[in-house]
Amino acid sequence: MAQRSVAPTLPTGLVAFVKRDCPTCVLVAPVLEQLAKAGSLTVYTQDDVEFPAGLVPVDDTELAVSWHHEIEAVPTLLRVEGGQERERVLGWHRDEWEALCGVPGLGPGLPDWRPGCGSLSVDPDRAPALRARFSGGRLAARRLELSESEDPYEALDARGWTDGLPVVPPTEERVLAMLDGTSRAPDEVVATVPPDLVPCTVEKVAINAVMAGCKPEYLPVVLAALEAACSDAFNAHGLLATTMPAGPVVIVNGPIRRRIGMNSGGNVFGQGNRANSTIGRALQLVIRNVGGGRPGEVDRAAHGNPGKVGFCFPEDEEGSPFEPLSVSLGMAAGVDTVTLFPGEGPRCIVDQLSRDPESLARSFAVNLRTLHHPKLILAFDCVLAVGPEHARVFREAGWSREKLAERLHALLQIPGDELVRGAGGIAEGAPETARGATLPKFRPDGILIVHCGGGAGLFSAMIGGWAGGAIGSQPVIQEIAPWA
């Protein structure tokens, strides 16, 4: 672990920070000479060790002193007592300089005021590297040193830290920038990650979020998704170990969807939106790199699905005829949340002709019955993603989310004679005890309805789940903690 560098102690007296590439610094060079003659003055120069001429400036071209003392602009004049800053002035203000140093008549012939320039220590091209260099103690992760001949992308892949796609090298600069996305302490433990049950800190999540390609503003969503994934109810270990193709599906609700630029419209489950594409990927990388959940080991999926790289999307709340999914699951309206669902890839539902809600609900029901197998019941939950053109049918008829769910459950009451093993010449099915009964396809709360997708096309989609209930995985909703 790198140690945070110690802030250099400033000498007692007047201290100035300047750079030659600043017209105001050049302007006040005669004033600095006046102050040097009048008493104790130390000048730190950021870009030219011979500036100002006629003085003996201290070399701060490495910017260590400027960074540690948070110099935002040059020239900056400080008054220091016993190593402690007592007062500072930014830029050239004759009255303020005279008041600070107690020397009258500074800079005769100069204008009374001139703004300064940005300090090199806050230059956007330099600041990330300076922070990484001088605040190394904030990060606890082991540093991986690569030789100059090593390609970092290939090195990360060779060590098994990728999902098969290139990842962004998690440099200290990038990880520190990612941590700016949350006020949570880097060493705070977010969750214990299965299957290896490893405590995972905010810093570890940030590292994997960098690798996934996230922006810092996505980090609170990733943190909430990890908390939900590692809950007992979600049972991520079981989801990893199943031979079914399911993985975590992250559904985002609340204003944060718009703040971070998520896509809830056209191609909502596809490529093209950075937040959608990287948040779910970050979660999967944490499970892989921290928890040890690797394919072919604990992850035993027979086929898997492309969504296991990362599957995250927001609900289109503004265009929906229904209350948000988060509200239906008990959260207050306007609260930022993630809902984790143990799901496979989406499957399209096509109905181009239904213009009344009953006909469309029946179309949904016959498709939902096929989930995993038409003769398998009560074992699997489902997300029904209603597209905007289908949603319009329900809006115009005044159907609520609850009414649609109730109608679907009613339409999915199936005669046991059709479900038993051997019925229809198919060995798969329910035990013989189901004969003569009527059984539901889904548990009472087993259909989660969301609204999303493009405005053109009479399509919806369904996302089948893994084993539901106590024997498998429950959908879990988690509030996204605010930034501060």
Q: What is the pLDDT of residues 192-202, one digit of tens each?
A: 999 999 999 99
Q: How many CB atoms within 10 Å of residue 267?
A: 12
Q: What is the pLDDT of residues 418-468, one digit of tens each?
A: 999 999 999 999 999 999 999 999 999 999 999 999 998 999 999 999 998
Residue 7 pLDDT exceeds 90? no
Q: Do the Cβ atoms of 338 and 280 come closer than 8 Å?
A: no
Residue 370 pLDDT exceeds 90? yes
Percent of the chain with pLDDT over 90: 90
Q: What is the pLDDT of residue 2?
A: 42
Q: What is the pLDDT of residue 5?
A: 62
Mean pLDDT of 389-402: 97
Give the number of residues written for the chain: 484
Residue 70 pLDDT exceeds 90? yes
Measured in degrees and rounded to the nearest 5, phi and psi for residue 112 equal -70, -30
Q: Kindly report the average pLDDT of the chain as a whole number.
A: 94
Mean pLDDT of 356-369: 98
Q: What is the pLDDT of residue 188?
A: 96
What is d(CA 115, CA 198) in angstroms, rounded to the nearest whole number? 52
Q: What is the pLDDT of residue 143?
A: 82
Residue 91 pLDDT exceeds 70? yes
Q: Give domain limits for the chain.
A: 13-136, 153-479
Of 89, 116, 122, 104, residue with least CA distance to 14:
89
Mean pLDDT of 87-108: 96
Q: Which long-range contacts (CB under 8 A, 24 or more apart) does 408-411 make?
A: 408/361, 408/364, 408/365, 408/368, 408/384, 408/447, 409/440, 409/442, 409/444, 409/447, 411/361, 411/362, 411/365
Tokens, residue 247: 């993985």
Q: What is the pLDDT of residue 483?
A: 60
User: Top-level CATH class of 13-136?
Assistant: alpha beta
Q: Do the Cβ atoms of 207 and 286 come closer than 8 Å?
A: no
Q: What is the pLDDT of residues 143-160, one digit of tens each?
A: 888 888 899 999 999 999
Q: What is the pLDDT of residue 137?
A: 60
Q: What is the pLDDT of residue 122?
A: 96
